[in-house]
């Protein structure tokens, strides 16, 4: 018995390996969207004066949450990575117990808003360099990520030369003042011209009335001669 084709063609799915590859990339994209991310902020460096106290920022984020998140801070000492501190966070909102291995270091993140920042007291030139914030999340099959923050220690903060900025601001301010003065002068001129035009109209009306009177026209106040009386 022959089976007749109805005329409707099945969709072309392509080779099996193509479909498997497409599914793999979709799942990989979802995986990376949920992956752990460590961040030291939009500006990953700080210039601070010798002897001051600074905060080295870091936060973590995960779309599926954390469980026993391991994190640490490391300092790059001329190519040798030295551990600054480390801890394990059981879950969101719980303040971890942090082990600190470097002097003048304090953990200030407290895990509030996923914050795991550290504070450096009385920094010296030896404290300058790269600080790496590392995290590993067992809930994401030990997915890990890190971010680097650069601390620059100086004798004194550089004085920024604002001469060019002041010149530009002065030029812009002068241009605005000139434009406002021009508009004020223009409005004053238009006002004076309007008043002069109004005065000229009044003069024309008054002059017209005087001419009519002098010419003895209708409506004038010229003396009329009396009608002679009949004897």
Q: Are residues 146 and 41 in the same domain?
A: yes
> Quick check: is 75 in a domain?
yes
**What is the sign of the dihedral through the CA atoms of 43, 45, 48 and 51?**
positive
| Cβ atoms of 128 and 120 closer than 8 Å | no
- Specify the pLDDT at position 133: 98
Do 49 and 125 belong together in one domain?
Answer: yes
> Which pLDDT tens digit goes with each residue over 103-155?
999 999 999 899 999 999 999 999 999 999 999 999 999 999 999 999 999 99
Residue 24 has pLDDT above 70, yes or no: no
Same domain, 181 and 72: no
142 assigned to some structural domain = yes
pLDDT for res 17: 56
Among 25-29, 150-154, 192-196, the least confident range: 25-29
For the chain, the three-class secondary structure string (H helix, E strand, C coil) is CCCCCCCCCCCCCCCHHHHHHHHHHHHHHHHHHHCCEEECCCCCEEEEECCCCEEECCEEECCCCCCCEEEEEEEEECCEEEEEEEEEECCCCCCCCCEECCCCEEECCCCHHHECCEEECCCCHHHCEEEEEEEEEHHHCCEEEEEEEEEEEECCCCCCCCHHHHHHHHHHHHHHHHHHHHHHHHHHHHHHHHHHHHHHHHHHHHHHHHHHHHCCCCCCCCCCCCCCCCC
Do both 128 and 177 map to the same domain?
Answer: no
Rounded-to-integer distance, Cα 72 and Cα 144, Å: 11
- Mark whether 170 and 150 lie in a shared domain: no
**pLDDT bracket for residue 204 (50, 70, 90):** low
What is the CA angle 85-133-95, rounded to 5?
60
For position 162, what pLDDT does the model report? 67
Check residue 224 and give its pLDDT: 52
Residue 192: which domain range?
Answer: 164-205
- Tell me what pLDDT residue 222 has: 47
In the chain, the percentage of residues whose pLDDT exceeds 90 is 51
Say how many domains are in the chain: 2
Residue 205, token pair as written in the block: 């009306």
Specify whether 122 is located in the same domain as 171.
no
> Do residues 60 and 144 share a domain?
yes
36-77 pLDDT, tens digit each: 999 999 999 999 999 999 999 999 999 999 999 999 999 999
Instruction: Judge whether 3 lies within some domain.
Output: no
- Model pTM? 0.58
């Amino acid at each position: 018995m022959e089976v007749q084709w109805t005329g409707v063609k099945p969709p072309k799915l392509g080779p099996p390996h193509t479909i498997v590859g497409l599914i793999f990339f979709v799942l990989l994209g979802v995986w990376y969207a949920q992956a752990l991310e460590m961040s030291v902020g939009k500006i990953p460096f700080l210039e601070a004066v010798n002897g001051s106290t600074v905060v080295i920022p870091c936060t973590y984020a995960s779309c599926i949450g954390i469980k026993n998140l391991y994190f640490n801070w490391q300092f790059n000492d001329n190519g040798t990575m030295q551990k600054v501190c480390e801890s394990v966070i059981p879950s969101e909102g719980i303040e971890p117990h942090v082990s600190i291995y470097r002097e003048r270091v304090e953990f200030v993140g407290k895990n509030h808003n996923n914050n795991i920042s550290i504070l450096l007291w009385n920094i010296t030139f030896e404290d300058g360099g790269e600080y790496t914030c590392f995290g590993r999340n067992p809930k994401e099959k030990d997915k890990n990520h890190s971010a680097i923050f650069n601390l620059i220690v100086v004798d004194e903060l550089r004085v920024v030369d604002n001469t060019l900025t002041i010149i530009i601001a002065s030029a812009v301010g002068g241009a605005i003042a000139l434009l406002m003065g021009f508009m004020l002068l223009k409005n004053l001129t238009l006002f004076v011209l309007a008043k002069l035009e109004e005065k000229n109209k009044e003069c024309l009306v008054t002059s017209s009335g005087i001419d009519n009177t002098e010419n003895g026209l209708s409506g004038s106040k010229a003396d009329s001669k009396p009608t002679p009386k009949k004897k």
